[in-house]
Chain A
């Protein structure tokens, strides 16, 4: 099993602060997806990163794929209470196992007003 490790597991910050969530693996992955999940709902895709060194921005969220394609990070600038939720990274299980996504254990983010 190719594990994905997310850190930190919990993050509690004040509105306006910046934060970074990390997703690491011991093996190279061809692509990585970031999802956000709100209480009582299913995860929703935020972004897919494919190319080593790639940076993608989604408003105040910046996603980076490591040069070696073994790690990724999600940076939120000036966090708002609406950013509260569970952030999950996921990668394909490998080979021809399309869709068999392996998920990290998630980062629970709480942004206090």
Chain B
């Protein structure tokens, strides 16, 4: 089982460049998320999606955009890269219905390490 797959694993950007972080899951999960992890800061939610065509902001959405055209894919777009966006980015997914527990676990990818210089 592939689970949640993120590409690329590493990327170096110059200030002002743009890029898209790819995320795909094969578990038919309806919820998908993007988190960033800075050293000693835990994980902060950037954007999340409850299903295809529906996205919403998390704690730190500024400088990012997302789209969810299919259940499987949830790309994260950085339009004008800034040094403050140097971080490790994690995509995650989970399955939720009104009849399921709200404690459904998140399944994470292995992350994309991004450096902006």
Contact = CB atoms under 8 A, between A and B. Distances in A.
Contacts, number: 61
Given A48-B103, A99-B94, A100-B45, A106 B40 contact: yes
Among A1, A6, A42, A98, find the residue whose CB has the most chain B CB atoms closer than 10 A: A42
A42 B108 contact: yes
Given A31-B102, A33-B105, A98-B96, A41 B33 contact: no
B110 A41 contact: yes
Interface string A15-56: 000000000000000110100000011111100101000000
Interface of B: 4, 31, 33, 35, 40-45, 48, 50, 58-59, 90, 92, 94, 96, 102-103, 105-106, 108-111
Report the 8 A-B pairs with minimum CB-CB distance, sorted nearest first.
A42-B108, A45-B105, A103-B42, A105-B42, A48-B103, A103-B43, A99-B31, A31-B103
